[in-house]
């Protein structure tokens, strides 16, 4: 036990879903479940009860719309789209008509009918095997609970937060609550329930507020007004920390905000090595709301737009027009840099009931991604047409994920050519020269990279999947996380062969998996000759700073040497040694951040 912890100190570990640290008083949000009674409604009063429900339903929709508008008005960066998703659920006939039917057929009060309907719907959701859909089940419950609160006159979006900064502690938070409180003095979120894919987590991340989820017994352990430390990086909350721990975290928090200022100086400096080799740094993007951070991120455009989030947050499928609007917003925002739009990569760990097969034994190797798109050409062509039409508004690249062989890439290109022909006939504008690339995520594609390079305009290495398939490690399985090693000799060899194949054919090679943002791998990636690295915006300025201190020639020599080692450990130690001796200055800030973290953790 850490000697710095006093007797009432409690450390609870969960999953960090949004980086950063904060020290503040705890505000426990005990959203007590409203107790409702079952009432039988006399037959002649049933229409009145239905009207009562409809009115409460309208009030709930109005209040959600107001929250959404307040968010848009207060700042352009809040993900108002999530409130839209809740509004859509609220408007869903399955819910509205289902409740009315229950009121009428069972002659029961509206509150009871809502709870009954939601219990039915939740049972359906809870039987689904994937986490993302189960989360959506909770959204339905939260939305319906709004109507119950309207019916009993207990609405409470405006939580009284007091004066000072607070860390909000709750069993779970609705996206609306998260977004609303973010406008106030909330410096952290900690919840018992939730996952990195839950919408509240996405909101926190996009608002850059530290957040930790999956904290067992949190609301029981945390007392109202207790002082707490939240560490979004390590995924923990410390309740009643000792003065020493508070001091450490306070200085870390200050240090991190100073660090942000220091790093800002690198925003407009070129991303190049000490000896002048340019490596383009671009951003990975999941939702358009993140674009608000783009101007300060130092990114030269977007290197990976994960379009599946448009589908995941849409009731039904997004139309061509809706997608055009989305892509155009992106393309215009990144101008004069380009945007690389990745076509739908759904399946694996991202599910949507009306799109993906839900009973696969091994979804990571199932009908996912490009396979699913080629299986459903009309779905795919809607997206291709939308990307093409949006390309008329600025520099756009399109890239296909999970390509495992020549056939898939050629089929995808053929559908793209068909879409171009259609648009030609319709007289619609698009960029005829838009570049078409593919992601190298499957070892078979890496092996035939020299052949693929002849038919592609660029490669983008998706290391998250490439490592998963090369080392046979399920990226979602925490039991084998320890085996997930980007500096494994097999991974280095496979990356080298892809980069060499690309360069041999004269096409650029990008990396857009998490390895691209791993500072310890950076000298290796420089030495291997990657042309572009695409990463989450939050990591970019630190990476740029380090890159500017690394000598490209020395990095190449280092990589040559690394190929002599058989053990990943030897490779990692060798790179570390180089970092500490040769590039200590480039890494100084990062090492300092790391040391503060170990001292406090």
Give the residue numbers marked as catalytic: 199, 512
d(CA 338, CA 157): 40
d(CA 92, CA 90): 5
Pick between residue 169 and residue 403 the one whose CB is nearest to ligand PEP.
403
Q: How far is CA 184 from CA 29, 163, 189, in A?
A: 15, 10, 13
Radius of gyration of the chain (CA): 26
Pick between residue 172 and residue 441 the one whose CB is nearest to ligand PEP.
441
State the nearest-atom distance from the C-beta of 514 to ligand PEP, in Å. 7
State the nearest-atom distance from the C-beta of 464 to Mg ion, in Å. 5
Pick between residue 347 and residue 527 the one whose CB is nearest to Mg ion.
347
Residues 462-501 that bind ligand PEP (CB under 6 A): 462-465
Question: Which residue is associated with the tokens 């380009």?
Answer: 338
State the nearest-atom distance from the C-beta of 514 to Mg ion, in Å. 10
Could you give the count of Cα atoms lying within 13 Å of 46 in the half-sphere of its Cβ? Answer: 15
Single residue of 79, 318, 513, 552 touching ligand PEP by CB under 6 A = 513
Query: Could you tell me if 271 and 549 are in contact, meaning their C-beta atoms sit under 8 angstroms apart?
Result: no
Determine if 347 is a binding residue for Mg ion (CB under 5 A): no
Query: Could you tell me if 230 and 12 are in contact, meaning their C-beta atoms sit under 8 angstroms apart?
Result: no
Residues 287-316 that bind ligand PEP (CB under 6 A): 304, 306
Q: Taking contact as CB under 5 A, which single stretch among the options 125-133, 204-212, 391-399, 440-448 is the one that binds Mg ion?
A: 440-448
Query: Could you tell me if 507 and 456 are in contact, meaning their C-beta atoms sit under 8 angstroms apart?
Result: yes
Token pair of 63 as six digits? 């209040």
Pick between residue 273 and residue 343 the one whose CB is nearest to ligand PEP.
343
Residues 390-449 that bind ligand PEP (CB under 6 A): 441
Determine if 465 is a binding residue for Mg ion (CB under 5 A): yes
Quick one: which of 451, 464, 430 has its CA closest to 507?
A: 451
CA 408 to mean position of chain CA atoms: 27
Q: Which does 463 bind (CB under 5 to 8 A by kind): ligand PEP, Mg ion, none?
A: ligand PEP
Helix (H, G, I), strand (E, B) or coil at 57: helix
State the nearest-atom distance from the C-beta of 436 to Mg ion, in Å. 18
What SS3 string covers 511-572?
ECCHHHHCHHHHHHHHHHCCCEEEEEHHHHHHHHHHHHHCCHHHHHHHHHHHCCCCCHHHHH
Determine if 178 is a binding residue for ligand PEP (CB under 6 A): no
d(CA 501, CA 519): 25
x/- string (CB under 6 A) for ligand PEP, residues 86-125? ----------------------------------------
Single residue of 176, 512, 530, 586 touching ligand PEP by CB under 6 A = 512
Pick between residue 462 and residue 538 the one whose CB is nearest to Mg ion.
462
Closest chain position to Mg ion (CB)? 465
State the nearest-atom distance from the C-beta of 463 to ligand PEP, in Å. 5
Token pair of 273 as six digits? 């090595």
Pick between residue 468 and residue 551 the one whose CB is nearest to Mg ion.
468
Determine if 536 is a binding residue for ligand PEP (CB under 6 A): no
Determine if 462 is a binding residue for Mg ion (CB under 5 A): yes
Q: Taking contact as CB under 6 A, which single stretch among the options 19-27, 76-84, 460-468, 480-488 is the one that binds ligand PEP?
A: 460-468
Q: Taking contact as CB under 5 A, which single stretch among the options 182-190, 433-441, 445-453, 492-500 is the one that binds Mg ion?
A: 433-441
Residue ranges with strand state E in 30-109: none
Determine if 345 is a binding residue for ligand PEP (CB under 6 A): yes
Quick one: which of 356, 304, 311, 308 has its CA closest to 334?
A: 304
d(CA 510, CA 299): 14
Token pair of 328 as six digits? 């155009």
Q: How far is CA 241 from CA 10, 151, 192, 248, 374, in A?
A: 8, 42, 19, 10, 54
For CA atoms 120, 122, 127, 133, the dihedral sign is: positive
Q: Which residues are near Mg ion by CB under 5 A?
A: 441, 462, 465
Q: Which residues are near ligand PEP by CB under 6 A?
A: 304, 306, 345, 441, 462-465, 512-513
């Amino acid at each position: 036990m850490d000697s710095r912890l006093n007797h009432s100190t409690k450390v609870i570990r969960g999953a960090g879903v949004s980086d950063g640290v904060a020290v503040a008083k705890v505000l426990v949000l005990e959203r007590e479940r409203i107790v409702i009674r079952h009432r039988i409604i006399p037959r002649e009063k049933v229409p009145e009860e239905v009207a009562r429900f409809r009115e409460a339903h309208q009030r709930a929709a109005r209040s959600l719309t107001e929250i959404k508008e307040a968010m848009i008005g207060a700042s352009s960066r809040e993900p108002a789209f999530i409130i839209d998703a809740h509004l859509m659920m609220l408007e869903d006939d399955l819910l509205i008509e289902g409740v009315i039917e229950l009121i009428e057929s069972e002659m029961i009060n509206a509150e009871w009918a809502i709870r009954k309907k939601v219990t039915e719907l939740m049972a359906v959701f809870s039987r689904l095997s994937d986490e993302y859909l189960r989360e959506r089940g909770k959204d339905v419950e939260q939305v319906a609970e709004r109507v119950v609160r309207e019916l009993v006159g207990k609405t409470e979006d405006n939580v009284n937060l007091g004066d000072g900064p607070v860390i909000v502690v709750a069993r779970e938070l609705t996206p609306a609550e998260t977004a609303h409180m973010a406008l106030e003095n909330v410096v952290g979120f900690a919840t018992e329930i939730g996952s990195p894919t839950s919408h509240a987590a996405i909101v926190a991340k996009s608002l850059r507020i530290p957040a930790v989820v999956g904290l067992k017994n949190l609301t029981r352990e945390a007392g109202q007004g207790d002082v707490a430390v939240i560490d979004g990086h390590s995924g923990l909350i410390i309740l009643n920390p000792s003065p020493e721990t508070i001091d450490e975290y306070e200085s870390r928090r200050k240090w991190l905000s100073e660090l942000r200022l220091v790093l800002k100086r690198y925003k407009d400096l070129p991303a190049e090595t000490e000896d002048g080799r340019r490596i383009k740094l671009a951003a990975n993007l999941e939702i358009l709301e993140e674009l608000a951070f783009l101007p300060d991120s130092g990114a030269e455009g977007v290197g990976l737009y994960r379009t599946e989030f448009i589908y995941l947050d849409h009731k039904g499928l997004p139309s061509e027009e809706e997608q055009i609007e989305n892509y155009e917003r992106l393309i215009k925002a990144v101008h004069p840099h380009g945007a690389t739009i990745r076509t739908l990569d759904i399946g694996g760990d991202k599910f949507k009931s009306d799109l993906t097969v839900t009973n696969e034994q091994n979804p990571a190797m199932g009908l996912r991604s490009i396979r699913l798109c080629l299986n459903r050409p009309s779905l795919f062509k809607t997206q291709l047409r939308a990307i093409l039409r949006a390309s008329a508004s600025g520099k756009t690249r399109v890239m296909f994920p999970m390509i495992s062989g020549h056939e898939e890439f050629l089929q995808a290109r053929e559908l793209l050519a068909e879409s171009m022909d259609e648009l030609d006939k319709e007289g619609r504008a698009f960029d005829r020269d838009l570049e078409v690339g593919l992601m190298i995520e499957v070892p078979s594609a890496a092996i035939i990279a020299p052949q693929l390079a002849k038919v592609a305009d660029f490669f983008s290495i998706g290391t998250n999947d490439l490592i998963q398939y090369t080392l046979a490690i399920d990226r979602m399985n925490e039991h084998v996380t320890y085996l997930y090693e980007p500096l494994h000799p097999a991974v280095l060899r496979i990356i080298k062969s892809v980069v060499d194949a690309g360069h041999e054919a004269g096409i650029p090679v990008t990396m857009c998996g998490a390895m691209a943002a791993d500072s310890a791998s950076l000298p290796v990636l420089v030495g291997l000759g990657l042309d572009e690295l695409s990463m989450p915006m939050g990591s970019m300025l630190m990476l740029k700073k380090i890159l500017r201190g690394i000598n490209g020639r020395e990095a190449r020599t280092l990589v040559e040497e690394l190929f002599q080692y058989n053990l990943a450990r030897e490779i990692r130690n060798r790179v570390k040694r180089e970092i500490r001796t040769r590039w200590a200055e480039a890494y100084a800030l990062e090492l300092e951040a790391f040391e503060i973290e170990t001292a406090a953790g």
